[in-house]
Amino acid sequence: MAQSLGRLFTLLSFRKTHLSRQCVQVLSGTTLKRTLMMRAVPILSPKPRDFSLPNPSWGEEMMRLYNYYSSQSEVETEGEEEQGSQWTRLPSYNRSLKYAIGGVYLSKIIQSKARLFTRNIKHPGAGFEYVVFFTKDKQRCVCIFQAGHLLEGPPGHVHGGAIATIIDTVTGTHASLLCAPVVTANLNINYRSPIPLGSTVLIESTLDEQEGKKTFISCKITSTDGSKLHTEATALFVSVSVSHLLRG
Protein backbone atom coordinates (compact mmCIF):
# COMPACT_ATOMS: atom_id res chain seq x y z
CA MET A 1 0.00 0.00 0.00
CA ALA A 2 2.78 2.40 0.97
CA GLN A 3 4.65 1.61 -2.26
CA SER A 4 1.49 2.30 -4.33
CA LEU A 5 0.97 5.65 -2.63
CA GLY A 6 4.61 6.47 -3.18
CA ARG A 7 4.36 5.74 -6.90
CA LEU A 8 1.17 7.84 -7.16
CA PHE A 9 2.83 10.76 -5.40
CA THR A 10 5.86 10.50 -7.68
CA LEU A 11 3.64 10.44 -10.78
CA LEU A 12 1.66 13.48 -9.67
CA SER A 13 4.85 15.34 -8.83
CA PHE A 14 6.28 14.53 -12.27
CA ARG A 15 3.13 15.76 -14.06
CA LYS A 16 3.09 18.94 -12.03
CA THR A 17 6.76 19.59 -12.78
CA HIS A 18 6.28 18.74 -16.47
CA LEU A 19 3.30 21.11 -16.73
CA SER A 20 5.26 23.89 -15.03
CA ARG A 21 8.13 23.43 -17.49
CA GLN A 22 5.67 23.62 -20.41
CA CYS A 23 4.24 26.88 -19.08
CA VAL A 24 7.74 28.33 -18.68
CA GLN A 25 8.63 27.28 -22.22
CA VAL A 26 5.55 29.00 -23.62
CA LEU A 27 6.08 32.15 -21.59
CA SER A 28 9.74 32.34 -22.60
CA GLY A 29 9.09 31.29 -26.19
CA THR A 30 8.90 33.32 -29.34
CA THR A 31 7.14 36.64 -29.71
CA LEU A 32 4.47 34.87 -31.76
CA LYS A 33 3.67 32.47 -28.91
CA ARG A 34 3.45 35.28 -26.41
CA THR A 35 1.21 37.26 -28.76
CA LEU A 36 -1.13 34.30 -29.20
CA MET A 37 -1.36 33.84 -25.44
CA MET A 38 -2.18 37.52 -24.91
CA ARG A 39 -4.94 37.34 -27.51
CA ALA A 40 -6.36 34.23 -25.84
CA VAL A 41 -6.78 35.95 -22.47
CA PRO A 42 -9.84 38.06 -23.46
CA ILE A 43 -11.53 34.93 -24.85
CA LEU A 44 -11.00 32.93 -21.67
CA SER A 45 -11.93 35.78 -19.35
CA PRO A 46 -13.96 38.39 -21.27
CA LYS A 47 -15.01 41.54 -19.49
CA PRO A 48 -18.82 41.46 -19.34
CA ARG A 49 -20.66 44.34 -20.94
CA ASP A 50 -23.71 45.71 -19.19
CA PHE A 51 -26.35 46.19 -21.90
CA SER A 52 -28.71 48.06 -19.57
CA LEU A 53 -26.54 51.17 -19.39
CA PRO A 54 -27.28 54.25 -21.52
CA ASN A 55 -25.98 54.42 -25.08
CA PRO A 56 -26.23 57.12 -27.78
CA SER A 57 -29.42 55.59 -29.24
CA TRP A 58 -31.45 56.31 -26.12
CA GLY A 59 -33.99 59.07 -26.62
CA GLU A 60 -34.73 61.95 -24.27
CA GLU A 61 -37.66 60.17 -22.59
CA MET A 62 -35.66 56.97 -22.12
CA MET A 63 -32.87 58.91 -20.43
CA ARG A 64 -35.27 60.93 -18.29
CA LEU A 65 -36.90 57.80 -16.88
CA TYR A 66 -33.55 56.06 -16.44
CA ASN A 67 -32.27 59.00 -14.42
CA TYR A 68 -35.48 59.12 -12.41
CA TYR A 69 -35.39 55.46 -11.33
CA SER A 70 -31.64 55.60 -10.83
CA SER A 71 -32.10 58.52 -8.46
CA GLN A 72 -34.58 56.41 -6.50
CA SER A 73 -31.84 53.81 -6.09
CA GLU A 74 -29.31 56.11 -4.47
CA VAL A 75 -28.00 54.89 -1.12
CA GLU A 76 -28.11 57.26 1.83
CA THR A 77 -25.01 58.15 3.86
CA GLU A 78 -23.13 55.36 5.62
CA GLY A 79 -24.71 54.18 8.86
CA GLU A 80 -28.20 55.35 7.88
CA GLU A 81 -31.05 53.39 6.39
CA GLU A 82 -31.35 53.34 2.61
CA GLN A 83 -34.30 55.69 2.49
CA GLY A 84 -33.91 56.28 -1.23
CA SER A 85 -33.36 52.68 -2.34
CA GLN A 86 -36.91 51.93 -3.50
CA TRP A 87 -35.59 50.67 -6.82
CA THR A 88 -32.50 48.68 -7.82
CA ARG A 89 -31.22 48.48 -11.37
CA LEU A 90 -30.70 44.99 -12.72
CA PRO A 91 -27.53 44.66 -14.86
CA SER A 92 -27.83 42.86 -18.19
CA TYR A 93 -24.75 40.86 -19.21
CA ASN A 94 -24.02 38.21 -21.79
CA ARG A 95 -25.82 34.97 -21.08
CA SER A 96 -24.00 32.78 -18.52
CA LEU A 97 -24.32 29.17 -17.37
CA LYS A 98 -24.34 30.35 -13.78
CA TYR A 99 -26.55 27.56 -12.48
CA ALA A 100 -24.23 24.76 -13.57
CA ILE A 101 -21.24 23.52 -11.60
CA GLY A 102 -18.31 25.57 -12.86
CA GLY A 103 -20.82 27.47 -14.97
CA VAL A 104 -19.04 30.81 -14.72
CA TYR A 105 -15.92 29.35 -16.31
CA LEU A 106 -17.87 27.42 -18.93
CA SER A 107 -19.63 30.63 -19.88
CA LYS A 108 -16.33 32.44 -20.35
CA ILE A 109 -14.91 29.71 -22.57
CA ILE A 110 -17.96 28.48 -24.50
CA GLN A 111 -20.36 31.41 -24.48
CA SER A 112 -18.08 34.41 -24.19
CA LYS A 113 -19.94 36.15 -27.02
CA ALA A 114 -23.41 34.66 -26.52
CA ARG A 115 -26.19 37.14 -25.84
CA LEU A 116 -29.71 36.96 -24.55
CA PHE A 117 -32.20 36.88 -27.43
CA THR A 118 -33.29 40.45 -26.74
CA ARG A 119 -29.65 41.62 -26.79
CA ASN A 120 -28.56 39.90 -30.01
CA ILE A 121 -28.94 42.94 -32.29
CA LYS A 122 -25.53 44.56 -32.03
CA HIS A 123 -26.46 47.91 -33.56
CA PRO A 124 -27.64 50.18 -30.68
CA GLY A 125 -31.21 51.38 -31.01
CA ALA A 126 -32.21 48.99 -33.79
CA GLY A 127 -33.97 46.44 -31.60
CA PHE A 128 -34.74 46.05 -27.91
CA GLU A 129 -33.38 48.89 -25.79
CA TYR A 130 -34.45 48.41 -22.19
CA VAL A 131 -33.45 48.51 -18.55
CA VAL A 132 -35.14 46.78 -15.61
CA PHE A 133 -35.47 48.05 -12.03
CA PHE A 134 -36.95 46.10 -9.11
CA THR A 135 -38.11 46.97 -5.61
CA LYS A 136 -36.26 45.86 -2.50
CA ASP A 137 -38.98 43.33 -1.59
CA LYS A 138 -38.95 42.10 -5.22
CA GLN A 139 -42.73 42.36 -5.43
CA ARG A 140 -42.57 44.74 -8.39
CA CYS A 141 -40.40 45.36 -11.46
CA VAL A 142 -40.47 48.20 -13.92
CA CYS A 143 -38.88 48.18 -17.36
CA ILE A 144 -38.15 51.22 -19.51
CA PHE A 145 -38.44 50.01 -23.10
CA GLN A 146 -37.54 51.78 -26.35
CA ALA A 147 -38.46 49.91 -29.54
CA GLY A 148 -36.11 50.05 -32.54
CA HIS A 149 -36.98 50.02 -36.24
CA LEU A 150 -36.16 46.30 -36.67
CA LEU A 151 -39.13 45.44 -34.44
CA GLU A 152 -41.66 46.77 -36.95
CA GLY A 153 -44.88 44.84 -37.54
CA PRO A 154 -47.78 47.03 -38.69
CA PRO A 155 -46.35 50.03 -40.53
CA GLY A 156 -44.78 52.38 -38.00
CA HIS A 157 -45.60 50.19 -35.01
CA VAL A 158 -44.05 47.39 -32.96
CA HIS A 159 -44.69 43.78 -33.98
CA GLY A 160 -46.96 41.85 -31.61
CA GLY A 161 -44.35 39.10 -31.32
CA ALA A 162 -41.73 41.62 -30.21
CA ILE A 163 -44.17 42.90 -27.58
CA ALA A 164 -44.72 39.32 -26.36
CA THR A 165 -40.95 38.83 -26.24
CA ILE A 166 -40.28 41.85 -24.04
CA ILE A 167 -43.19 40.92 -21.76
CA ASP A 168 -41.84 37.39 -21.38
CA THR A 169 -38.38 38.83 -20.72
CA VAL A 170 -39.51 41.25 -18.03
CA THR A 171 -41.92 38.91 -16.23
CA GLY A 172 -39.45 36.02 -16.53
CA THR A 173 -36.72 38.20 -15.07
CA HIS A 174 -39.06 39.14 -12.24
CA ALA A 175 -39.90 35.49 -11.54
CA SER A 176 -36.20 34.61 -11.61
CA LEU A 177 -35.51 37.21 -8.93
CA LEU A 178 -38.06 35.48 -6.72
CA CYS A 179 -37.23 31.81 -7.29
CA ALA A 180 -34.66 31.15 -10.03
CA PRO A 181 -34.40 29.14 -12.18
CA VAL A 182 -37.85 29.20 -13.80
CA VAL A 183 -39.49 28.43 -17.14
CA THR A 184 -42.53 30.05 -18.72
CA ALA A 185 -45.59 27.81 -18.42
CA ASN A 186 -48.26 30.21 -19.65
CA LEU A 187 -48.34 33.70 -21.15
CA ASN A 188 -51.69 35.37 -21.84
CA ILE A 189 -51.62 38.72 -23.66
CA ASN A 190 -54.31 41.27 -24.52
CA TYR A 191 -53.23 43.91 -27.03
CA ARG A 192 -55.09 47.19 -26.40
CA SER A 193 -53.37 49.80 -28.57
CA PRO A 194 -50.31 49.69 -30.85
CA ILE A 195 -46.89 50.92 -29.73
CA PRO A 196 -45.24 53.38 -32.14
CA LEU A 197 -41.73 52.51 -33.28
CA GLY A 198 -39.07 54.57 -31.56
CA SER A 199 -41.33 55.46 -28.66
CA THR A 200 -40.53 54.78 -25.00
CA VAL A 201 -43.01 52.89 -22.83
CA LEU A 202 -43.15 51.53 -19.29
CA ILE A 203 -43.60 47.83 -18.56
CA GLU A 204 -44.78 47.16 -15.01
CA SER A 205 -44.59 43.64 -13.58
CA THR A 206 -46.33 42.73 -10.30
CA LEU A 207 -46.23 39.53 -8.27
CA ASP A 208 -49.77 38.19 -7.83
CA GLU A 209 -49.21 34.90 -6.02
CA GLN A 210 -46.73 32.15 -5.28
CA GLU A 211 -48.04 28.62 -4.86
CA GLY A 212 -45.41 25.94 -4.41
CA LYS A 213 -43.32 25.89 -7.58
CA LYS A 214 -45.73 28.23 -9.36
CA THR A 215 -45.29 32.00 -9.60
CA PHE A 216 -48.15 34.12 -10.98
CA ILE A 217 -47.30 37.56 -12.35
CA SER A 218 -49.37 40.29 -14.00
CA CYS A 219 -47.96 42.87 -16.39
CA LYS A 220 -49.03 45.98 -18.28
CA ILE A 221 -47.43 48.25 -20.84
CA THR A 222 -48.39 51.92 -20.73
CA SER A 223 -47.25 55.24 -22.10
CA THR A 224 -44.67 56.86 -19.86
CA ASP A 225 -47.25 59.21 -18.35
CA GLY A 226 -49.65 56.33 -17.74
CA SER A 227 -52.43 57.86 -19.85
CA LYS A 228 -52.55 55.09 -22.48
CA LEU A 229 -52.71 51.34 -21.92
CA HIS A 230 -50.95 49.46 -24.71
CA THR A 231 -50.92 45.86 -23.50
CA GLU A 232 -52.03 43.72 -20.55
CA ALA A 233 -50.70 40.26 -19.71
CA THR A 234 -50.63 37.52 -17.11
CA ALA A 235 -47.87 34.93 -16.82
CA LEU A 236 -47.25 31.69 -14.98
CA PHE A 237 -43.71 30.52 -14.27
CA VAL A 238 -42.67 27.19 -12.79
CA SER A 239 -39.51 26.61 -10.78
CA VAL A 240 -37.27 23.90 -12.21
CA SER A 241 -34.09 22.15 -11.15
CA VAL A 242 -30.68 22.84 -12.63
CA SER A 243 -30.63 19.37 -14.17
CA HIS A 244 -33.87 20.20 -16.00
CA LEU A 245 -32.23 23.24 -17.60
CA LEU A 246 -29.15 21.26 -18.61
CA ARG A 247 -31.25 18.52 -20.23
CA GLY A 248 -33.02 21.11 -22.36
Annotate 62-93 with b (16+ C-beta within 10 A) or e (fewer): beebbeebeeeeeeeeeeeeeeeebbbbbebe
168 among known catalytic residues: yes
* 36, 49, 117, 121, 209 from 114: Cα distances, Å: 22, 12, 9, 12, 33
Q: Considering 137, 168, 208, 225, which one is annotated as catalytic?
A: 168
Annotate 190-226 with b (16+ C-beta within 10 A) or e (fewer): eeeebbebebbbbbebebeeeeeebbbbbbbbbbbee
Residues recognised as catalytic: 168
